[in-house]
Amino acid sequence: MSRNHSLAEKLLGFSWSVSPGTFEFCAPNQERALWRMKKLFPEIVFDVTTLEGNPFTFPQVQTLLDGITVGGQKISDAEQVLNQAASFKKLITLCKSGNFSVTQEIACELHALAAKGEALQEGVFRNGSASIAGTESKPPSYENLPSLFQQLLEAQQLLQTPIECGITTFLSFAKNQFFWDGNKRTGRLLMNGILLTEGQDMITVSAKYREEFHAKMICFYDTHDASEMFSFMAAQQISKRFQ
C-alpha cells in the first residue's frame, strides 16, 4: 500500500484494497464515453430509479422520457424519473462544456435536480442530525460537513486513477450524508462527472443488482471497509454492456 493511499484512507475515514485487474482502463475518449451514456440513457435512468424503489418499469421509463404520460402510476414516481433524467442531462452539459469539477456548488446544483421534491432541503448541505436506514452507523455532525468535504478534495489529489477517485467520492457522500436525502444519487453523479471528464465510461448500477448493491452498502456502512464496493462498482462500468 502506498503512502498516498494510506493518507487518502485517513482523510476519507474508510479503507479499501483492490485486486490486480479490478479496474479496466481504455484510451481516454470523452466523445465515446458521452455517446455510450446517451445510447443507454433510458436504461441508466431506470437503473437509478429502481435502486430508489420506484415502480416504473423500463418500458414505462422509456415512454415517460419520450414525453408521454404513463397511466396507473403515482405523479411523485413519474416526477422522480424525470428528475433523474434532468440531473444526468445537466451532468452531460457540464462535462461537454468543460465546466465539471467536484465543488460544493456543483454538488448542490446536481442534488437540487436529483432530489427535487424528496429531500427536506434541496441543493444545500444538511443542517441537522441524520441517520442511515438499515445500519447503526451514524453520519457525522452537520457542523463537520464543510471540513469533511475539503478532506474529500484533498484525498482526490492523492489518488492515481479517475475510477478510484470517482468511487471514493460516491462512497464519501454515502458515508457522510452531506444532504438530507439523495446522497447516493448525488455521489454517483459526481463519480460519473469525474469519469466522463477524463474520457472514461460512466458507472451505473444495473437494476438487477439492486439487492446486492444495498447489501454491500450496508456492509460498507457497518465496517467502513470499501473493498467489496470497489470491486462491485468497477464491474458496473457501462463498457461491459457494449462487449
User: Alpha-carbon distance 182 to 125, whole Å?
Assistant: 11
Cell digits of residue 170? 460516491
For position 1, what pLDDT does the model report? 62
For position 194, what pLDDT does the model report? 97
User: Alpha-carbon distance 15 to 208, whole Å?
Assistant: 27
Cell digits of residue 101? 469539477
pLDDT in tens, the chain (243 residues): 688 999 999 999 999 998 766 777 778 999 999 999 999 999 999 999 999 999 999 999 999 999 999 989 999 999 999 999 999 999 999 999 999 999 999 999 999 999 999 989 999 999 999 999 899 889 999 999 999 999 999 999 999 889 999 999 999 999 999 999 999 999 999 999 999 999 999 999 999 999 999 999 999 999 999 999 999 999 999 988 887
* Phi, psi angles (nearest 5°) of residue 128: -155, 180
For position 65, what pLDDT does the model report? 97
For position 21, what pLDDT does the model report? 67
User: Alpha-carbon distance 222 to 138, whole Å?
Assistant: 9
Q: What is the pTM of this model?
A: 0.96
User: Please, what are the domains in the chain?
Assistant: 3-12+28-123+139-242 (1.10.3290.10)
User: Alpha-carbon distance 54 to 73, whole Å?
Assistant: 10
Residue 203: beta bridge partners? 237
Helices and strands of the chain, counted as H and E runs = 11, 0
- State which H helix or E strand residue 64 sits in: helix 58-65
Closest to 237 in 3D by CA, of 216, 209, 206: 206
User: Alpha-carbon distance 63 to 78, whole Å?
Assistant: 11
Contact 125, 142 (CB under 8 A): yes
